Amino acid sequence: MRKIILFELNEVPFRVLDYYADKYPTSCIAKILEYSKQYETKTTDEGHLHPWTTWPTLHRGITNKSHGIKDLGEDLEKVDKSYPNIWQILVQNTVSVGVFSSLHTYPLPFNIDKYKYYVPDPFAAGFETKPKKIEPFQAFNLMMSRASARNVSRKIQIGSGTILLTTLLRSGVSIQTFYALAKQLVKEKTQPWMTTRRRTYQSSIAFDIFFDLLKKEKPQFTTFFSNNVASTMHRYWAATFPEDYTENLLDEQWHNRYAHEIDFALGELDQMMKKLLNFIESNPNYKLIIASSMGQAATKMINLETELTLKSMESFMDALGFKKEDWEALPAMHPQYNLKVQTPQVAKDFEKTLRKLKIQDHPINYRLKNELFFSLDLGHVNLKQDFLIYDERKFDLTKFGLENEKVQEQAAGTAYHIPEGSLIIYDPKKKTSEKRQTGIDTTQIAPSILKNFDVQIPDYMNSQTIEEIAN
């Protein structure tokens, strides 16, 4: 049995990792690729691919056809009983576990005392953590995620306030990260566009806290979820890989400004990898598994000037005639907005009301997850109207808490989700330079981890395992 660090590198394909390793051959990423076992994975999930669906597939060893998870903020009580994720199963089998930022990890589990540490994802509805000293960071983390959906808010001062200070003093954020944040704020004074890099520094802060917990607690199994490279790829793929596009709608200034943003995000990732490799070289009973639940590739380019953003769910619901006690907002990734109403009657009334609402002559697109759970899609781009139609009357967008927000980066996602992802197994006891392989389903990862810990694999899981993880 070996200890395992599962580094969840959201949506990063080998195309990007190879690019960085070739460009920076002395980097830690290059070293890992040289001495690891590698598989190009593929998710077999059905329908539109999203991380809140594909990560449960990896964590539970079954596809979305079985687990049925479609949105952040869902009540997973029934799913957890039928198809528990890997850390739930491991804890039940007395394996020591630490969880940090993996998706669908809120609320804290009923048996939280059995976890070494537990920090929910950055889209959680509340800021509870184990240990409690991490809660100020999590409150800051959630605030950043909610304020930085499309544009990063410059009103949030990373280096100010007691939240970050408490984190720095009590939770393991390194002096190097603090220094980098200070430099970042100085750069923003003369180059405001660099505010977008705060997304990456958000991950850097989180990693430092995770790494401090890892060193102190040394659980047998731990996760860490990182989204900074994925968010950067979505926005700036065209600046790094312009050859992937037959038609380029973005000007030379845009390309010059953002040409190094993926490099920057990967550079921060490289620093994380350096710390982890030093750790496992000193603690060789650990294996490092770097996995993505899917990947990204170039998509059709849109010159994005504005995007409709819901700034206040309370204003939106109030304008539709619903009281605060009738509903509650749930976590979601932009441009989706999730909410739960309190009764079936309110659900009926809300659905009836939504049908009266039109934006640019189109009805609101929504999904009813269950009789009380609604998911709204409001991300209209390049909207030419400053009003909406409700009950056949015109209203200013602001009355409904909406803003046709000018987009910082001009591009509406130059890369998007593809089924193919990456899996890297770095074993300090068995460094290898074997040729990369294909044909691994992401549902094989969970049972492989269970087998490593001599835990029985549930019948519903994929029975195929990956040798380098399982043995």
Q: Is the pLDDT of residue 154 over 60?
A: no
Residues 6 or more apart in contact with residue 164 via CB below 8 angstroms: 137, 140, 158, 173, 205
Q: Is the pLDDT of residue 158 over 60?
A: no
Residues 6 or more apart in contact with residue 231 via CB below 8 angstroms: 199
Cα dihedral value 141, 143, 149, 155, nearest 10:
-120
> For residue 169, what pLDDT is reported?
65
Binned at pLDDT 50, 70 and 90, residue 150 comes out as: very low
Q: Is the pLDDT of residue 295 over 90?
A: yes
> For residue 167, what pLDDT is reported?
59
Cα dist from 96 to 84, 89, 93, whole Å: 16, 11, 9
Q: Is the pLDDT of residue 470 over 90?
A: yes
> For residue 394, what pLDDT is reported?
93
pTM score, whole prediction: 0.89
Please report, for the chain, how many H helices and E strands are present, in that order.
Answer: 17, 20
Give CA–CA dist 111/91, Å, rounded: 9
Q: What percent of the chain has pLDDT over 90?
A: 66
Binned at pLDDT 50, 70 and 90, residue 120 comes out as: very high
CA-wise closest residue to 269 among 34, 28, 15: 28
Compute the mean pLDDT over every residue in the chain, rounded to the nearest whole number. Answer: 90
Binned at pLDDT 50, 70 and 90, residue 95 comes out as: very high
Rounded to an integer, the average pLDDT of 87-92 is 98
Q: Is the pLDDT of residue 320 over 80?
A: yes
Most confident of the following: 24-28, 356-360, 388-392: 24-28
> For residue 389, what pLDDT is reported?
92
Q: What percent of the chain has pLDDT over 70?
A: 94
Tokens of 356: 């009266």
Binned at pLDDT 50, 70 and 90, residue 165 comes out as: low
Give CA–CA dist 165/418, Å, rounded: 39
> For residue 186, what pLDDT is reported?
85
Q: Is the pLDDT of residue 323 over 50?
A: yes
The count of residues in the chain is 471
- Taking the CB of residue 419, how many other CB atoms lie within 10 A of it? 16
Q: Is the pLDDT of residue 151 over 50?
A: no
> For residue 206, what pLDDT is reported?
93
Tens-place pLDDT, residues 372-386: 999 898 877 788 888
Binned at pLDDT 50, 70 and 90, residue 419 comes out as: very high
> Could you say which DSSP state residue 411 is in?
B
Most confident of the following: 104-113, 196-205, 296-305, 432-441: 104-113
Structure-model confidence comparison of residues 227 and 247, the more confident one? 227
Q: What angle do CA 174, 175, 176 make, to 5 degrees?
A: 90
Most confident of the following: 98-102, 143-147, 198-202, 332-336: 98-102
Rounded to an integer, the average pLDDT of 289-297 is 98
Pick the range with the lowest mean pLDDT from 158-162, 263-267, 328-332, 467-471: 158-162
